Amino acid sequence: MKKIFIILLLSAVLIGGALFAGYRYLLHFVEQPVSVKNAQLLTIERGTTGAKLAELLKQENITDDAWFLPALLKVQPQLNKIKAGTYSLDGVKTLGDLLRVLNEGKEAQFSVRFIEGETFKNWRKNLEKAPHLRQTLQDKSAVEIFRLLDLPNEKAEQQNLEGWLYPDTYNYTPNSTDLALLNRAAERMKKALDAAWAERDPDLPLKDPYELLILASIVEKETALDSERGKVASVFVNRLNQKMKLQTDPTVIYGMGERYNGNIRRKDLEEATPYNTYVIDGLPPTPIAMPSESSLKAAAQPEKTDFLYFVADGSGGHKFSRTLAEHNRAVQDYLRWYRSQQKGK
């Protein structure tokens, strides 16, 4: 009996030692290095088990020694709260680093920037180049996308995305869709437009929020200076009130479309297009660009002036005039400045 007891005791000690050694190995196992490429992503599907994760790490050549992983996750359940998603492996050096990333659930983030004053055509190119964004709109026309975004215009000629998307930098996670991103931009613009319209000057010569959006897009294209937007808007509001043609070059350029090569000629100013404000009365039928929120506010609450004209002053801003005679002198001043710049080249 004594001999059997000693044997059993020794067996228990050996087994206990082996279990303890195995436990210590598992704890040390998390510190083993992993092989991660620059900018590598790892996608974890919903319901991934320890065994599936070990196989995935092997398939992705992150480690060849992950067969202890299921046991580790049982021994350390705090590491087994892995969340589905796509993760950036930047900065991951050990298996422990990797597990912490997967447990935190902070998916990789990417971004696309939509710049104020650009057109939807420009934005669409940026959208199509956005990394890890699922493209669902490539075979859709601009009108079809307009309808998918549920934007508020029933007139066929106003089913135009121009102006309806809020300029900003948009973050997204991998496998987000292009439509979801545009929907975020559209919702922000709708809210910004509603707010600007609600706070507008009561005597604006505008029938509805859409006309405010059109005017804001023109203001956006005419000046990049926040300090000038209110004055620029006042010129167009004053012209609308006096039934004067707006005569703004950006609308002519928009109406020319692909034909615009950097120059506007006299015949372009005289061409009858729906957007040529040298020919048509009032506002063009749609916005001509994506306006910033500051342009929306300027169009809704323009400065109180009696200006009817403005021209570039050569310093990045504009000279504002009340009469045509003043404006013609300002134009001559600008032309003299421009010629002097050309001679200096």
pLDDT in tens, 159-183: 889 999 999 999 999 989 999 999 9
Residues 272, 211 share a domain: yes
Mean of the pLDDT values across residues 91-103?
89
CB-based contact 320:305 (threshold 8 Å):
yes
> Coil, helix or strand for 273?
coil
Question: Which residue, of 79, 104, 129, is where some domain finishes?
Answer: 104
What pLDDT does residue 19 have? 40
**Cα separation of 115 and 221, whole Å?**
12
Amino acid at 326: E
Residues 251, 186 share a domain: no
For the CA atoms of 147, 151, 154, 156, what is the dihedral angle to 10 degrees? -60
Task: Give the tens place of pLDDT for each residue, 57-76.
Answer: 888 888 887 777 887 788 77
What pLDDT does residue 5 have? 44
Task: Give the tens place of pLDDT for each residue, 142-159.
Answer: 989 999 998 887 666 678
What pLDDT does residue 154 have? 60
Tell me if 22 is assigned to some domain: no
What average pLDDT is seen over the chain? 87
Tell me if 11 is assigned to some domain: no
pLDDT of residue 18 exceeding 50, the answer is no
**Cα separation of 88 and 140, whole Å?**
31
Banded pLDDT at 306 (limits 50, 70, 90): very high
Tell me if 141 is assigned to some domain: yes
Contacts of 54 (CB under 8 A, 6+ apart): 66, 67, 69, 70
Residues 249, 121 share a domain: no
Residues 207, 186 share a domain: no
Residues 322, 282 share a domain: yes
Task: Give the tens place of pLDDT for each residue, 223-275.
Answer: 999 999 999 999 999 999 999 999 999 999 999 988 988 888 989 898 999 99
| CATH number of the CATH domain containing 40 | 3.30.1490
Question: Which residue, of 172, 194, 216, is where some domain finishes?
Answer: 194
Banded pLDDT at 13 (limits 50, 70, 90): very low
What pLDDT does residue 20 have? 41
| Residue 79 structural domain | 27-104
What pLDDT does residue 21 have? 40
Residues 153, 100 share a domain: no
Residues 205, 190 share a domain: no
Residues 303, 286 share a domain: yes
Residues 339, 228 share a domain: yes
| Residue in 345, 280, 340 with CA at minimum distance from that of residue 314 | 340
The residues with which 169 forms a beta bridge, in sequence order, are 113
> Distance of CA 109 to CAs 41, 59, 100, 120, 261, Å?
11, 24, 17, 24, 38
CB-based contact 323:308 (threshold 8 Å):
yes
Q: Two tokens at 342?
A: 């050309």
CB-based contact 76:97 (threshold 8 Å):
no
| Residue in 222, 221, 266, 275 with CA at minimum distance from that of residue 245 | 275
Residues 95, 79 share a domain: yes
Residues 74, 32 share a domain: yes
Residues 240, 162 share a domain: no
In total, how many domains does the chain have?
3
Distance of CA 1 to the CA centre of its chain: 80
Task: Give the tens place of pLDDT for each residue, 181-230.
Answer: 999 999 999 999 999 999 999 999 999 999 999 999 999 999 999 999 99
Task: Give the tens place of pLDDT for each residue, 23-60.
Answer: 454 556 677 888 888 889 999 898 888 889 888 888 88
pLDDT of residue 4 exceeding 80, the answer is no
